[in-house]
Amino acid sequence: MNLTLKVWRQKNSNTPGRFETYQARNVIPDMSFLEMLDVVNEDIIARGEDPIAFDSDCREGICGMCSLVISGIPHGGHRGTASCQLHLRHFKDGDTVTIEPWRAKAFPIIKDLITNRSAFDRIIQAGGFVSVNTGGTPDGNALPVPKTDADRSMDAAACIGCGACVAVCKNASAMLFVAAKVSHLNLLPQGKAEKDRRVLNMVKQMDSEGFGNCTVTGSCEAVCPKEISLSFIAKMNRDYGVAILKGR
Ligand code: SF4
Ligand code: FES
């Protein structure tokens, strides 16, 4: 199959960007979207030009590095699917596909399709951890965890930190990401000691990074490759309210 690609090219954050048109010729439907970009880059390199810069690592939906807005939708709009898991069989021969980076003030463009998502790292550093004394491995049964809490915590922990929720949001809100990271620890007994401090510090860091407010449109949940539920935002808001009241 053949595709026409309109790809955002931008040298760095200080240089204006533009769409460039490329042809993906004789690509096969079972290729992943990133493999198709590899093939296009081989052609570009053979012509002596600068290849398209894009992020990837695991290429199996685990690491959160792939970050492409494909025809206007972060990760391309297939439920529970990261850009690296998207296959060309979802496109038609002859389609024109636009490829852009995440667009949010808190994610400045580094080059082409690569953005700087270290704002997420700083939010995690503000509270996305538990402080424990190191020592011998404790008995697995020493700290009982209700099954419902364990399941819900695991659902939140599935967040891969890709940033699609920010990219799709009209307010560039990071609430779904932060809610997932706060909740996966706050739900467990191991996370209780730092529960209040965690939610206050992570929300404070989120605000200082320039992410917008949540107006509950739900677009974040719709594009999230791990289908993180909006209900975690409600849970984080409750944890935040309780922490504020306790502080008073
Ligand atoms: S909540 Fe979903 S979309 Fe947002 S960073 Fe986590 S995995 Fe990505
Ligand atoms: S490259 Fe790791 S999630 Fe896509």
DSSP 107: S
Output phi, psi for 20, to 5 deg.
-115, 145
d(CA 44, CA 22): 9
SS3 181: helix
Q: What is the pLDDT of residue 149?
A: 96
Look at ligand 1, atom 6, and give the residue with the nearest C-alpha.
Answer: 159
Does the Cβ of 224 fall within 6 Å of ligand 1? yes
- Find where tokens 């700083």 sit: 122
Ligand closest to Cα of 169 equals: 1
Evaluate the CA torsion angle 131, 156, 90, 9 in order and state its sign.
negative
The ligand 2 site (C-beta within 6 Å) comprises 56-59, 61-66, 82-84, 160
Measure 231 CA to ligand 1 centroid, in angstroms.
14
Does the Cβ of 74 fall within 6 Å of ligand 1? no
Q: What is the pLDDT of residue 129?
A: 94
The rounded radius of gyration (Å) of the Cα atoms in the chain is 20
SS3 155: helix
CA-nearest of 231, 212, 211 to 221 is 231
Per-residue pLDDT at 37 exceeds 80: yes
Ligand closest to Cα of 80 equals: 1
The pTM for the full model equals 0.95
Does the Cβ of 117 fall within 6 Å of ligand 1? no
Does the Cβ of 65 fall within 6 Å of ligand 1? no
Look at ligand 1, atom 7, and give the residue with the nearest C-alpha.
Answer: 159
The answer to whether the CB of 44 falls within 8 A of the CB of 23 is: no
Does the Cβ of 187 fall within 6 Å of ligand 1? no
The answer to whether the CB of 24 falls within 8 A of the CB of 44 is: no
- pLDDT, the chain, mean: 96
Does the Cβ of 177 fall within 6 Å of ligand 1? yes
62-105 pLDDT, tens digit per residue, is 999 999 999 999 999 999 999 999 999 999 999 999 999 999 99
Q: What amino acid is encoded at 25 in this protein?
A: R
d(CA 218, CA 1): 34
Does the Cβ of 169 fall within 6 Å of ligand 1? no
Q: How far is CA 150 from the centre of its chain?
A: 23
Look at ligand 2, atom 3, and give the residue with the nearest C-alpha.
Answer: 61
Q: What is the pLDDT of residue 56?
A: 97
185-237 pLDDT, tens digit per residue, is 999 999 999 999 999 999 999 999 999 999 999 999 999 999 999 999 999 99
Does the Cβ of 156 fall within 6 Å of ligand 1? no
Instruction: Please count the other Cβ atoms lying within 10 Å of the Cβ belonging to residue 9.
Output: 16
Does the Cβ of 226 fall within 6 Å of ligand 1? yes
Q: What is the pLDDT of residue 132?
A: 82
- Nearest atom, ligand 2, residue 34 CA: 1
Domains of the chain with CATH codes? 3-110 (3.10.20.30), 118-247 (1.10.1060.10)
Token readout for 121 is: 């790292």
Per-residue pLDDT at 140 exceeds 90: no
Does the Cβ of 24 fall within 6 Å of ligand 1? no
Residue 45 pLDDT grade (very low, low, confident, very high; cuts 50, 70, 90): very high
Q: What is the pLDDT of residue 38?
A: 98
